Amino acid sequence: MSLFERYLTLWVALCIVVGIALGQFFPTLFHAVGRAEVAHVNLPVAALIWLMIIPMLIKVDFAAIAEVRRHWRGIGVTLFINWAVKPFSMALLGWLFVGHLFRPWLPADQIESYIAGLILLAAAPCTAMVFVWSNLSDGEPDFTLTQVALNDTIMLVAFAPIVGLLLGLSAIIVPWQTLLLSVVLYILVPVVLAQLVRRASLAKGGQAGLDRLLARLQPASLVALLATLVMLFGFQGEQIIAQPLIIALLAVPILIQVYFNSGLAYLLNRAVGEDHRIAAPSALIGASNFFELAVAAAISLFGFSSGAALATVVGVLIEVPVMLSVVKIVNASKGWYESGAAVSRRR
């Protein structure tokens, strides 16, 4: 894990401070950035999101989908968690905590927007950081690559319908045109561009050339992430200063869903007899989120100053410490996991 990834929570906290300060001292600048839109797409943010997402997608080899048969039990469990459990459980948790239990402590006009942000966060399975989590848990790299490639493929067609369904069930108006445009801009186009760059790099310099390219692109991706967060908190500053508990309250349903989904994936893999090297990354993929996509979609659908954008950023804030705790749990419980009857029979 790189220095940046290890201390991501610290960098996000610094972005909160810097963003709020800049938003207070240079409000005109932030409003100018907010107005730089074409067809409801903010151009500065679109550029930053592409810089964030494309380097991550270049890592993904979609040819790995052909290996899906090798680990079909673990892949089946992960797909079930990612697409049939996580978005719906998050919608339920958002409705319970944000819509009811925490309602008195949150801005009344942002309640629905916060729930929408949580739904967007849960509907996008992790693409990049999961490789780090898998490595830390001694996960099977081929399984992780296959699962990520498969999730990215499914996301092309499933992200918009699931988000639209859950927003509709939560009585939130679905801006379908903007939602579909977000899918094209932040999933389809980056995937196509990333794969073209990947193929060209491999053809020219092989795996070593691809690794060099990724090493050069990574700093730009990290700077783009931090710049986006500073802009977001520049717009969110007044809300956070007025009600500093907002971030902590929004973190509660996110924390619950991470531990619930990772635990369920881990137990299901144990029940079907999968090897621990498959179960560990399966649990981590099932729990983590593609927060860059969630942030981009929230900004496109609801705007910089929306509760949806803030809710997705809370996911960024707690991503590293929470996922590291899940890694620690699956590593520490390896002996217990392998003592399961179904696992023992298949060994």
pLDDT tens, residue by residue, 45-79: 778 878 877 887 888 777 777 777 778 889 999 99
- Three-class DSSP category at 127: coil
pLDDT of residue 177: 76
187 has a pLDDT exceeding 60: yes
User: For residue 98, what are the contacts with CB-CB under 8 A and spacing of at least 6?
Assistant: 106, 111, 114, 115, 118, 249, 250, 253
Identify the weakest region by mean pLDDT among 27-36, 47-56, 204-213. 27-36
Q: How many helices (H) and strands (E) does the chain have?
A: 17, 2
Distance CA 287, CA 47 (A): 28
Do residues 147 and 123 make contact, with C-beta atoms less than 8 angstroms apart? Answer: no
282 has a pLDDT exceeding 90: yes
pLDDT (mean) for 135-162: 86
236 has a pLDDT exceeding 80: no
pLDDT of residue 342: 64
pLDDT (mean) for 129-133: 77
pLDDT digits (tens, 9 = 90+) for 149-171: 888 888 888 888 898 888 887 76
189-to-87, 184, 217, 293 alpha-carbon distances in Å: 24, 6, 18, 13
Mean pLDDT score of the chain, rounded to an integer? Answer: 84
263 has a pLDDT exceeding 90: yes
The dihedral built from the CA positions of residue 219, 224, 227 and 232, taken in this order, carries a sign that is negative
Q: Place 138 in a pLDDT band, splitting at 50, 70 and 90.
A: confident
128 has a pLDDT exceeding 70: no
User: For residue 265, what are the contacts with CB-CB under 8 A and spacing of at least 6?
Assistant: 77, 78, 81, 279, 282, 283, 285, 286, 287
Give percent above pLDDT 90 in the chain.
Answer: 27
340 has a pLDDT exceeding 70: yes
pLDDT of residue 112: 92
Phi, psi angle pair for 175, to nearest 5°: -80, 80
Find which of 59-73, 172-186, 271-285 is predicted with most confidence, using mean pLDDT.
Answer: 271-285
Give percent above pLDDT 70 in the chain.
Answer: 93
pLDDT of residue 111: 92
- Three-class DSSP category at 199: helix
pLDDT of residue 190: 85
The encoded tokens of residue 214 equal: 């990724």
- What's the CA angle centered on 65, arms 127 and 282, to 5 degrees? 50
pLDDT of residue 261: 95
346 has a pLDDT exceeding 60: yes
Position 89, amino acid: S
Distance CA 74, CA 82 (A): 12
Q: At what angle do helices 129-136 and 276-287 cross, to 10 degrees?
A: 150
Comparing 245 with 96, which gets the higher pLDDT?
Answer: 96
212 has a pLDDT exceeding 60: yes
Do residues 122 and 89 make contact, with C-beta atoms less than 8 angstroms apart? Answer: yes
Identify the weakest region by mean pLDDT among 165-169, 195-199, 205-209, 266-270. 165-169
pTM value?
Answer: 0.82
